[in-house]
Amino acid sequence: MTVLNTLVEEIINCRSCRLAEGRTNVVPGEGSWQSGLMLIGEAPGLQEDKQGRPFVGAAGKFLDELLQMIGLSRPEVYIANVIKCRPPQNRDPQPDEINVCKPWLERQISIIEPKVIVTLGRFSLSLFLPGKTIGNCHGKPFCINGITYFPMYHPAAALHQYRLREVIKSDMLKIPELLLEQQTNGTSEEAGDPPAQQLTLF
Ligand code: URA
């Protein structure tokens, strides 16, 4: 068994917070462990909880479409969430739940070593770029410690606010260039980036 399989096993058996009580399945994340691109959402919803897989509901369909737009498919990227179990009635994840779950994500990131991390929605954004707001920084890359963080609106937001569909699509179209830049020389730091030590992760 590889270190990666071991990690997934550990995540699946986690009972460290109250969310373990109401879940059907843990949703550890899935995709290519060799991927340069990692997308990180918020938390599993109803369908994800039923199937144990991330982004398999309505928001996931849109995410699939977005990936297809840039010539990628699910197996070629890694998709995970800030928290691995569904909060009851899809309520917002609580700060203590995020804190308890954070080491899983940190370990996933340290194994996958993505070049580009796309944060989907505000919970994922504030984990990596605390203090930033999605309205101001979506579609802008932030390079910190060799990783390009790229904030995007959560795909589910487009289900409620149709005008966001085009915003999300146009942000998505910037990703291939970010991957290319990372392959060649790494991206430059944006003015006003938080210094690395302010990041909550690592
Ligand atoms: N929303 C998320 O943030 N993650 C999922 O896996 C599904 C919906």
Please give the distance, rounded to the nearest whole angstrom, from the Cα atom of residue 184 to the centre of ligand 1: 31
192 within domain boundaries: no
pLDDT, residue 201, reads 56
173 within domain boundaries: yes
User: Which DSSP state fits 119?
Assistant: E
pLDDT, residue 186, reads 56
Please give the distance, rounded to the nearest whole angstrom, from the Cα atom of residue 56 to the centre of ligand 1: 8
Please give the distance, rounded to the nearest whole angstrom, from the Cα atom of residue 11 to the centre of ligand 1: 17
Owning domain of residue 122: 2-186
At 167, which amino acid appears? Answer: V
141 within domain boundaries: yes
pLDDT, residue 21, reads 97
Report the interhelical angle of 58-69 vs 164-172 (nearest 10°).
40
Q: Which atom of ligand 1 is nearest to the CA of 41?
A: 3
Q: Model's pTM, two decimal places?
A: 0.92
Are 84 and 28 spatial neighbours (Cβ–Cβ below 8 Å)? yes
- DSSP H or E stretch at residue 59: helix 58-69
pLDDT, residue 153, reads 98
Nearest to 113 by CA among 1, 4, 2, 196: 4
172 within domain boundaries: yes
User: Which DSSP state fits 75?
Assistant: G
pLDDT, residue 184, reads 86
17 within domain boundaries: yes
Q: Which atom of ligand 1 is nearest to the CA of 48?
A: 6
Specify the number of domains making up the chain. 1
Please give the distance, rounded to the nearest whole angstrom, from the Cα atom of residue 191 to the centre of ligand 1: 31
Q: In a structure prediction context, what are the per-residue pLDDT tens digits for the chain, which is 202 residues long?
A: 588 889 999 999 999 999 999 999 999 999 998 889 999 999 999 999 999 999 999 999 999 999 999 999 999 999 999 999 999 999 999 999 999 999 999 999 999 999 999 999 999 999 999 999 999 999 999 999 999 999 999 999 999 999 999 999 999 999 999 999 988 865 545 544 444 333 445 4
pLDDT, residue 194, reads 46
Taking CB atoms and a 6 Å cutoff, what residues make up the pocket around ligand 1?
Answer: 41-45, 48, 54-55, 57, 59-60, 81, 156
The widest CA-to-CA distance across the chain, in whole angstroms, is: 46
To test the pocket of ligand 1, the residue of 11, 24, 48, 61 to mutate (highest count of ligand atoms within 8 Å of its CB) is: 48
What is the CATH number for 34? Answer: 3.40.470.10
